[in-house]
Amino acid sequence: MNPQNIEDVLAACEFFKGFGKADIEKIAAICEVRACEAGSILFQQGDFGEHLFIISEGLVHLERSMTMGNRKGNVVIETLGKSRVLGCWSTLLNEPHIVMSTAVCQRPTNVLVMQGARLRELMTLIWSIRISS
């Protein structure tokens, strides 16, 4: 995926609505592109959450492990597709957090991955520039 494609994915995402082209370019620079096969796990319940993911194509189930007495299993709590954001939102608040679900790719899926702390720093910079202008 080339830089323009990354910017297009970000611009189409509701989370970045209202961001200008220059801001989108800065955010695109901190993104890593990851291609995942069906069955791949983006993150797992119980992991330390540090990243946010934006689906550029594909389908991801968010699942939660459940234990009810002697029975154990997984429950799909959400199905996410193109332009949806998932991951550890607490990282944007600079708060450590343990992930509460597992993200499983249901078919070949491409995602943009960014470290939440880097996005937080960048967004803080973008907003401080806007306020001071």
The tens place of each residue's pLDDT in the chain, 133 residues long, gives: 777 899 999 999 999 998 999 999 999 999 999 999 999 999 999 999 999 999 999 999 999 998 888 888 889 999 999 999 999 888 888 887 899 999 999 999 999 999 999 999 998 888 787 677 6
3-class SS of residue 11: helix
Cβ atoms of 100 and 64 within 8 Å: the answer is: yes
Round the CA-based radius of gyration of the chain to a whole number and report it.
16
CA-to-CA separations, 111 to 17, 49, 114, in angstroms, rounded: 18, 16, 10
pLDDT at 93: 85
Contact 29, 62 (CB under 8 A): no
